[in-house]
Chains A and B, each alone.
Chain A
Amino acid sequence: MRQFLTAIWIAAVAALGLAAPSAAQDGPLRITITDGVIEPLPFAVPTFVARNAAAQDIAQDITRVIAADLSNTGLFREIPQDAHIARVSSFDSTVQWSDWKAINAQALITGSVLVEGDGRIVVQFRLFDVFSEAQLGDGLQFVGTSDGWRRMAHKVADAAYSRITGEGPYFDSRVVFVSETGPKNARQKRLAIMDYDGANVQYLTSSDSIVLAPRFSPDGRRIIYTGYESGFPRVTVLDVATLQRRTLGDLNTNMSFAPRFSPDGSRAVYSAEVAGNTDLYLLDLNTGASTRLTSAPSIETAPSFSPDGSRIVFESDRSGAPQLYIMSAGGGEGNRISFGEGRYGTPVWSPRGDQIAFTKQNAGRFHIGVMRIDGSEERLLTGAFLDEGPTWAPNGRVVMFTRESPGAQGAPALYTVDVTGRNLQRAATPAAASDPNWGPLLD
């Protein structure tokens, strides 16, 4: 996968002085997500020019994925192609600014697709700020194998998104989750992996035993989860490429669960229950040595590392009800950071390091929320019968979580919401789904 895509800059005279996104800061083509976006930015993406006959279909498919990526953020609104005035017949033809201004296209994305004799695909694109009559950033070219065409589309959309918002990319990423079938009292659960937009679902385990809460390693090549394969809940690591599984942790403990990798991928923090008491432990994945991090009679669980690996945020009911605490990665008492009404759980440190996403239960409802790492500026993003288990997009701007509907026919589904609490959307999955974990940006 690492060699699968190559990107090169296309020399573009028009791009001089405009390559840095910050250059557009004061121009019209800029979305600042934290300010909140009321009116999505209108953009046009004419079907990418097919440079040969073999590229005809894939050029259309790639164009649709790019448009969907941008539209689904809620930050952009596609101007339908049948409203376009100008026709783009060549990737290098001059932009007809007035035609795009006339339909109020503020951003214009053009591109081309070539399918080479060996089946490889070459995708080129440019992004334009229509009202400034200027190219925004350099043109880019991606070369990849034909089965990776969706990834190339995501790369193009990522570049456009990043240049306009100033935020990091996230479309070219995958999500691991638990696919669920069967009745509520006998759910069958399988690990599955998919592109962030629900495409390319692949099942990683059978439904023979319960699997819970999978999490990617920082490089996306391994998944750590809680599995009942041995009959008892155990921290298990799965290799995504080979599907080989390995049960980890001290087998003398009764139950090990809620694992997460450290940012360098060499360790895992997890919960283990001994004689009814759940504490946090740190496992060295190379040596297999386990270190106890907490020792209290209360429940300590749901640990998550800070991006620099120095601290761990976790959930504890030592105060009488579950609340959030931060401690050194070496262990200790920790400091409580949640003080609002209700119960707090499943804290997850944002990839930017500045926020904690969490599950909150209050007055009979569940919420996904975010707070700063000192516990200030708590904001609830959602509210429903049962929302839980947030996970951050690689750029820290979108949160995915599980929403379960009530009652005998109730079932879980995956949803996304952006950090401002806007653009709540159900993510496409082939069956009921829970426990999403958003993997790293692919390379």
Chain B
Amino acid sequence: MKFQAIIIASALALSGCAGGLFGDRGAGGMGDQGFDGSGGLGSTIGTGGLNDPSSVAFFQQNVGDRVLFAVDQSTLSPEARSVLDAQAQWLIANPGYTALIEGHADEQGTREYNLALGGRRANAARDYLVSRGVPATRMRTISYGKERPIQVCSTEACYSQNRRAVTVLALGATS
């Protein structure tokens, strides 16, 4: 049963990429469900799960798919840079993947400003990955502003998890 689910998810993910690397993600496709990787290449996808260092699951859980930001900030902390260093190494070692970097904000702020802030955060992560040797053509950024919190409480404990840039992987040939 589990195996069957994996195959279906893979097929969906591949068909999602068929239209182009990043171009048309399709109405109702990954654009909405893809935040934090939950609808794209999920943790069940990959050739060997957590034990396979080239799997998405390994990337998400061992490398670390996200970096966090201070209030209103898009500068990368030392911790964030070390996560991105590991992401860069992984992306260089696994050239078959492209990355969509999602920028997010907490709910303390207006919708418009948070969209722009999410854009800043996603680009800060992307620029750092480029500086570490990941080809810019393999990455794209998107901002969800405050539309997709990962934690739903209204205290700093949740806000600190929501101010994030998440690297979401997809299979695809680099151009």
Contacts and interface: CB of A to CB of B under 8 A. Distances in A.
A435 B112 CA distance: 11
Contact of B110 (A233, A273, A345): A345
Contacts of A386: 107-108
B85 to A, nearest CB: 20
Interface string B115-131: 11101101110010000
A288 to B, nearest CB: 19
B112 to A, nearest CB: 4
B24 interface: yes
Contact of B141 (A254, A301, A404): A254
A257 to B, nearest CB: 5
A185 B25 contact: no
Nearest to A320: B72
Contact of B113 (A230, A302, A408): A302
Contacts of B112: 213, 257-258, 271, 301-302, 315, 345-346
A219 interface: no
B24 A230 contact: yes
B27 interface: yes
B31 interface: yes
B107 A232 contact: no
Given A208-B28, A228-B32, A276-B122, A255 B113 contact: no
Given A210-B32, A232-B142, A315 B27 contact: no
A215 to B, nearest CB: 12
Contacts, number: 130
A209 to B, nearest CB: 5
B73 to A, nearest CB: 11
Given A206-B28, A255-B115, 16 more contacts: A185-B148, A208-B27, A208-B28, A209-B31, A226-B115, A229-B27, A278-B116, A345-B109, A345-B110, A345-B113, A346-B111, A359-B110, A388-B110, A406-B154, A407-B154, A408-B153
22 contacts: A185-B151, A208-B28, A210-B147, A212-B111, A212-B115, A229-B27, A231-B31, A232-B25, A232-B31, A254-B141, A273-B115, A273-B119, A276-B141, A277-B120, A278-B120, A321-B72, A361-B108, A389-B110, A389-B111, A404-B107, A407-B152, A435-B111
Interface of A: 183-187, 206, 208-210, 212-213, 226, 228-233, 254-255, 257-258, 271, 273, 275-278, 299, 301-302, 315, 317, 321-322, 343, 345-346, 359, 361, 385-386, 388-389, 404, 406-408, 410, 435
